[in-house]
């Protein structure tokens, strides 16, 4: 597409030069011949300083919020009001706006995004709709196989989002479910997605290092609800009352008035049985997952799938066959045992915020005959340090024994993180914890400590494939670490 055509599509003033634009990126190192380079002014670095590098690598034009340097721009320059918005709009235009050819569900919230997204994909597929998934760690086509973005894409930026949606549409996918994180919304990574349904799960303290405060966090999250023509909202979340509402339905597993309500919830050994009262009718449902809070995730997914045409019968049959989500309340078995009579139950879960850890431990407490042991860490680097103490408090209040260990300390001294977690426990008058900095050692200690009838929760890492330490990043598989620890008992 020629530069002038792009400028017309985006209502921008075009320069005299009119090169052909083949791609777009905001990272000069990713520039390919014929690409447009979007110069974004960050908190520490101005992308305009990489204009020369972009030109050397074959960029055809530069977009930015005004050329700030004394030297002339080496390429045709287009001034835009918002560089990040321009990156998203350019990517969508170059890819042919693929989301317009799909039914798109966006899921946002602090906790529950991933489980709700996977459930929604599964229910839509069960209803006969070829459905893909796009998350922060990878994507799925209709075959269900998770593919990962190239290593240099730590999170999918707008061009990767649009390219993935184009791939989904090109392979015959009819619908797509996207996890819409607060970062993706704030940084306009999903700005140019044409949503059909938005799902709001829950809002609690997270990412305040980036957003500053809860109000700013909420403002970014609610963008998804404002941009979608239809919303599925959690009536149990107090922030829902502040959302600007258009056409919508609500859901509740906590007894609040809602369009989709769960009644007679029974936590069984093999899953959750409950009655659903909804616009689709009243019916019995069974979800093969543990954790009462997953009833809410199931209601949200059913409401979204129903909005796209799934019937009550399809929802019931699909829900009963759900295979679970890697790293979300995932029950671990060792290669050859041990049997429940001989060893502990080990669960891997992604819970890494105080509310999500409280939910996970509260759920496991009701189904544990013996001791409940938790292994938990807290992220370092620029991540919100305010949750470290509360994590320590929740862990020691709800578990019989807590083991504080590493999660992803990055450039923060691990001792600083662990001390903050310990202070949270001590501040609540609790001493039922120990500190084992090495996560592998912590997991093995927890499994050795546990006996028959006990439960060990490995919290915080879930399905993540790396562990970030001070100065290094190592491959990591929490489930395999747990299996190894269990195998050592035999």
Residue 144 has pLDDT above 80, yes or no: no
Q: Is 115 annotated in some ligand binding site?
A: yes
113 belongs to an annotated ligand binding site: yes
Q: How far apart are CA 394 and CA 56, in angstroms?
A: 53
Q: What is the mean pLDDT of residues 19-32?
A: 96
Task: Check pLDDT > 80 for residue 341.
Answer: no
Interaxial angle between packed helices 478-487 and 439-449, expressed in degrees from 0 to 180 and rounded to the nearest 10: 40
Whether the link from the prior residue into 229 is cis, omega within 30° of 0, is no
Query: Does 189 appear as a known binding residue?
Result: yes
> Is residue 382 very low, low, confident or very high in pLDDT (cuts 50, 70, 90)?
low
pLDDT over 60 (residue 465): yes
Answer yes or no: is 112 a known binding residue.
yes
Task: Give the integer Cα–Cα distance in Å for 283 and 210.
Answer: 43
Q: Of the given ranges (113-122, 138-147, 291-300), which has the lowest mean pLDDT? A: 138-147
Percent of the chain whose pLDDT exceeds 70: 94
**Average pLDDT for 198-227:** 82
- Cα–Cα dist 46/234, whole Å: 40
Better pLDDT: 144 or 98: 98
Is 466 annotated to bind ligand? no
- Three-class secondary structure of residue 467 per DSSP: strand
What are the pLDDT digits (tens) for 11-20? 999 999 999 9
Instruction: Give the pLDDT score at 337.
Output: 46
CATH architecture classification, 3-95: 3-Layer(aba) Sandwich (3.40)
Q: What is the DSSP string of 35-96?
A: EEEE--B-SS-BGGGGHHHHHHTT--EEEESS--SSSPPSS-EEE-S-HHHHHHHHHHHHHT
Query: What pLDDT shows up at residue 471?
Result: 84
Is residue 223 part of an annotated ligand binding site?
no
The stretch 197-214 carries a mean pLDDT of 77
Instruction: Tell me if 111 is assigned to a ligand binding site.
Output: yes
Q: At 208, is the pLDDT very low, low, confident or very high (cuts 50, 70, 90)?
A: low
Handedness of CA 350, 353, 354, 359 (dihedral sign): negative
Q: What CATH code would you report for 98-320? A: 3.40.1190.10
Write down the pTM of the prediction.
0.80
Q: Domain coordinates of the chain in residue numbers?
A: 3-95, 98-320, 330-487
- The whole-angstrom separation of Cα 235 and Cα 259 is 9
57, pLDDT greater than 90: yes
Cα-based torsion angle of the residue sequence 286, 291, 292, 294 in order, rounded to the nearest 10 degrees: -70
Q: What is the mean pLDDT of residues 306-326?
A: 95
The burial of 102, by beta-carbon neighbours within 10 Å (0-12 exposed, 13-18 middle, 19 or more buried), is given as: buried
Q: Does 154 show up as a binding residue in the annotation?
A: yes
How distant, in Å, are the alpha carbons of 60, 183, 349, 363, 459 from that of 400? 62, 35, 18, 14, 15
CB 126, CB 314: distance < 8 Å: yes
Find all residues with CB under 8 Å of 352, minimum gap 6, and list them. 378, 379, 407, 459, 460, 462
**Average pLDDT value over all residues in the chain:** 91
**Per-residue pLDDT band at 290 (split at 50, 70, 90):** confident
Query: Looking at residue 357, what is its pLDDT?
Result: 94
Looking at the predicted structure, is the pLDDT value of residue 157 above 60? Answer: yes
Q: What pLDDT band is residue 340 in, cutting at 50, 70 and 90? A: very low
Q: Reading across the β-sheet that carries 455-459, which strands appear in turn? A: 330-332, 345-349, 455-459, 372-376, 401-404, 433-435
Q: Which CATH architecture fits 330-487?
A: Alpha-Beta Complex (3.90)
Is the predicted pLDDT of residue 115 greater than 50, yes or no?
A: yes
Cα–Cα distance measured from residue 412 to residue 268, given in angstroms and rounded to the nearest whole number:
42
């Amino acid at each position: 597409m020629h530069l002038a055509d792009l400028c017309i599509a985006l209502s921008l003033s075009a320069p005299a030069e009119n090169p052909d634009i083949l791609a777009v990126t905001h990272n000069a190192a990713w520039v390919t011949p014929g690409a447009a380079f979007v110069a974004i002014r960050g908190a520490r670095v101005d992308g305009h300083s990489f204009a020369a590098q972009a030109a050397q690598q074959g960029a055809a034009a530069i977009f930015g919020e005004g050329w700030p340097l004394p030297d002339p721009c080496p390429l045709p320059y287009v001034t835009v009001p918002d560089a990040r918005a321009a990156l998203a709009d350019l990517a969508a235009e170059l890819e042919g706006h693929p989301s317009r050819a799909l039914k798109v569900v966006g899921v946002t919230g602090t906790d529950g995004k991933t489980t709700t997204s996977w459930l929604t994909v599964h229910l839509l597929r069960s209803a006969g709709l070829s459905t893909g998934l796009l998350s922060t760690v990878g994507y799925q086509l209709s075959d269900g196989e998770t593919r990962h973005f190239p290593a240099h894409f730590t999170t999918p930026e707008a061009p990767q989002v649009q390219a993935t949606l184009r791939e989904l549409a090109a392979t015959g996918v009819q619908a797509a479910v996207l996890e819409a994180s607060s970062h993706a919304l704030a940084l306009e990574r999903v700005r140019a997605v044409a949503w059909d349904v938005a799902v709001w799960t829950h809002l609690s303290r997270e990412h305040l290092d980036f957003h500053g405060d809860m109000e700013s966090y909420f403002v970014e999250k609610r963008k998804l609800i404002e941009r979608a023509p239809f919303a599925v909202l959690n009536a149990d979340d107090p922030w829902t009352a502040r959302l600007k509402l258009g056409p919508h339905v609500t859901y509740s597993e906590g007894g609040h008035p809602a369009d989709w309500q769960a009644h007679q919830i029974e936590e069984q050994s093999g899953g959750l049985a409950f009655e659903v009262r909804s616009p689709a009718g009243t019916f019995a449902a069974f979800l093969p997952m543990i954790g009462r809070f997953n009833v809410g995730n199931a209601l949200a997914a059913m409401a979204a799938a129903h909005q796209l045409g799934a019937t009550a019968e399809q929802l019931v049959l699909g829900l009963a066959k759900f295979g679970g989500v890697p790293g979300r309340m995932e029950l671990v078995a060792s290669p050859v045992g041990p049997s429940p009579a001989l060893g502990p139950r080990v669960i891997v879960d992604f819970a890494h915020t105080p509310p999500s850890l409280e939910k996970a431990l509260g759920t496991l407490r009701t189904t544990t005959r013996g001791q409940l042991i938790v292994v938990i860490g807290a992220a370092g680097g620029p991540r919100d340090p305010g949750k470290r103490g509360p994590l320590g408090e929740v862990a020691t209040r709800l578990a019989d024994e807590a083991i504080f260990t590493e999660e992803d300390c990055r450039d923060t001294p691990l001792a600083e993180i662990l001390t903050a977690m310990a202070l949270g426990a001590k501040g609540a008058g609790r001493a039922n914890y120990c500190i084992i900095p090495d996560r592998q050692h912590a997991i093995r200690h927890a499994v050795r400590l546990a006996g028959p009838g006990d439960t060990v929760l490995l919290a915080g890492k879930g399905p993540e494939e790396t562990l970030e330490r001070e100065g290094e990043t190592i491959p990591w598989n929490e489930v395999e670490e747990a299996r190894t620890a269990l195998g050592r008992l035999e």
